């Protein structure tokens, strides 16, 4: 009887906690100590709820965000972390997921597209940014 009771309790505990997953903090930078050297690599290897922390530098890329993530600059200063559009006709960020946070970046050289394209989404937070040579900062 005791073994059966303990087995049921142990099984219940495992089932209750099976869906609990801790969110990770993924780092991006060029010093060699970070997880990835590009923001898109970090997004590709993340899961919903993760935070992507970007270190100082200039990143030339288009970032497609298709998961519930926080993409945040480590310094919080948009002059420290510049994301330059890969091509002038590209968005810097293309967001296709709800509940995405993007904070603390300088956006540059998206002259014929928006800096941040919020594509049919809701509950997103965009803050503390600067824009240089951007056609439209946001397109919703």
Rounded to whole angstroms, how far apart are CA atoms 92 and 58? 12
pLDDT band at 21 (very low <50, low <70, confident <90, very high): low
32 or 40, higher pLDDT: 40
- pLDDT at res. 22: 75
22-139 topology per CATH: Pectate Lyase C-like (2.160.20)
Give the separation between CA 95 and CA 62, rounded to whole angstroms: 11
Q: What is the pTM of this model?
A: 0.80
Burial of 14 (0-12, 13-18, 19+ CB in 10 A): exposed
For the cut 80, the answer to whether the pLDDT of residue 122 exceeds it is yes
- Mention every residue, 6+ apart, whose C-beta is less than 8 A from residue 77: 104
């Amino acid at each position: 009887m005791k073994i059966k009771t303990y087995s049921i309790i142990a099984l219940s505990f495992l089932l209750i906690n099976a869906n609990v997953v801790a969110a990770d903090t993924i780092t991006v930078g060029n010093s060699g100590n970070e997880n990835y050297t590009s923001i898109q690599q970090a997004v590709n290897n993340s899961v919903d709820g993760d935070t992507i922390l970007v270190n100082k530098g200039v990143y030339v890329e288009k970032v497609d965000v298709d998961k519930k993530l926080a993409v945040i600059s480590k310094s919080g200063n948009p002059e420290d972390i510049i994301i330059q559009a890969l091509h002038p006709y590209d968005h810097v960020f293309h967001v296709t997921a709800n509940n995405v946070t993007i904070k603390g970046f300088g956006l540059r050289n998206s002259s014929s597209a928006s800096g941040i394209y919020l594509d049919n989404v809701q509950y997103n937070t965009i803050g503390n940014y600067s824009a240089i040579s951007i056609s439209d900062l946001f397109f919703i």
